[in-house]
Structure 1
Amino acid sequence: MTEHDSTADFVPRPQGGGGHKNREFRVDSSDDAIADFVDTVNDLGIDGRWLVQGLTDFLRREKRGGGAGMTAEERKVVIESGAMTEAELEESERDVARGVLEENAGELWLRTYQETWSGDTVTEFLGWTEEEVMNAAHDQRIHGVPIRGRLRFPRWQFSLGSRGRLIPHLETVLPILTEHWDWISISAFMSVRQRSLVAEGRKTPRSWLRDGGDPTAVADIIESDKWR
């Protein structure tokens, strides 16, 4: 989906399944890693409990179902195809068992979360009341993401130089976006240059709309689900 070679990001399923139940990797509240995490969150100067709860909810949804791992035949195909050597495959399986997929997912959630605004910030930026912001989010005139009972607002939709300080045609593309993807995928899509959005070079959907591009071109990419 992105411009990266898809084979480069291939990670096979863990053998034996149920990696999240492996007692070897379990932690408890007295673990130094937990203490470091708590200190780091507290140093951010934000509502750390709410942030941790949101991340916990996300990781809980990401938890693996514990299905069967790769069969001997699947391993043979991967190795003989040249995609991975046997040593690379074994190392990848060890990484998966340790939780690399969950770690990457958590990092993505946190990184995307950092690119959102609170409701207070949005009301100040747009010059709206809190009620107007909430109503606009409900009507999908702006994109609000519910996290632990509060709405966060991805920053890609705001533009200081645009009329109303929102990217043009947001109301047109937003219902299509939310029908196809979750908020993390939407944020990624809006920041990736597209081959079919060209005006003095490839543009991201956000910059395309901000600079007056036809929203139909963006909608077509979303509907085809072939963004890159």
Structure 2
Amino acid sequence: MPTPDTSNDVPHPPASAAYSPCASDESVRELADAVAHLGGDGQYMVDALIEMVLSLRPITKSTMSADQRGFLIESGTLSEERLAAAEAKAERGSLALKGIESGLSMVVRTASLEATCAYLDWDESTVRSAVSEGRLYAFEIAGRPRFPTWQFHRPAPDGLLPHLSDLIAALPPHWVPQVVSGFMETSQPTLVSTGPTRPAEFILRTGNFDVVRAVLESVGGF
């Protein structure tokens, strides 16, 4: 039987005593060492983290009114202790961490310019031209182009998802990269092969891009 999660029941010290907005110099050094331990492009990873943090809204204290707090407690939705614990976690930055986690997931589901060149056996100018011409999809993180991996496919002769240019052209222009990734990486109920299927899988299994285009047109306004 699963063990109940009681982490929110643990009392928290007052926010002013529990944390400081500034990380210690030692913690910053430990973060730099941890990034270096990964063995990748450490400067890029730090730059990406900084960009993600700066893109988030500043953390603010709870704006819940006394009446709202009273309703939650009196209705039995939350105990006073659990509500206080949830507010303390939010003030410490738990929601901001989720935003950073979401941003990092975008990085790991993309390839760098160098990796894309190696995969396609193209030089950088060819890759950049393909992006400007709508034959490859890319966006920037921390000033560097990133290429979502959903657009790559082997054993296609060119290593790319069939109908990729048509797909890129059909993407609603107001969709930000996070929305595009969410669409491409989520099974769509109207794209059915053996069951609800992600767009790239549907194209690979059926070869039918027109259905995907229709779905994009139907959801593109949202």
1:26 aligned residue? 21
Q: Secondary structure at the match of 1:164?
A: coil
Label 1:174 to 1:104 Cα distance change in 2 as closer, same or farther (>3 A). same
RMSD: 2.9
Unaligned runs of 5+ in 2: 1-14
Secondary structure at the aligned position of 1:152 is classed as: strand
Of residues 126, 130, 139, the one that matches 2:124 is: 130
The residue correspondences of 1:110-189 to structure 2 (distance < 5 A) are 110-162=104-156, 164-177=158-171, 179-189=173-183
Task: Give the aligned length.
Answer: 205
Q: Is the 2:62–2:87 Cα contact (8 Å) retained in structure 1? A: no
Shift of 1:184: 2.9
Q: Which moved more, 1:64-73 or 1:106-115?
A: 64-73
Distance 1:84 1:191, change over 3 A: farther
The TM-score with structure 2 as length reference comes to 0.77
- What residue is the counterpart of 2:10 in the other structure? none
Which one has more relative contact order, counting CA pairs under 8 Å at least 6 apart?
1
Distance in 1 (CA, whole Å) between partners of 2:173 and 2:78 is 36
Report what 1:12 is aligned to: none
TM, length-normalised to structure 1: 0.76
Q: CA deviation at 1:175?
A: 4.5
Output one character per residue of 1:67-118: Cα deviation in whole Å (capped at 9) or x when no partner: 8712234435555676544443322211110001111111221222012111
Who is 1:72 aligned against?
66
Q: Is the CA contact (8 Å cut-off) linking 1:157 and 1:167 kept in structure 2? A: yes
Q: List, as ranges, runs of 4+ consecutive aligned residues in structure 1 with deviation greater than 6 Å.
A: none
Q: How far apart, in 1, do the equivalents of 2:202 and 2:17 lie? A: 47
Which aligned pairs between 1:74-89 and structure 2 lie closer than 5 A?
A: 74-76=68-70, 78=72, 84-89=78-83
Secondary structure of the residue aligned to 2:25 is coil
- Whether the 8 Å CA contact 1:119–1:152 is kept in 2: the answer is yes
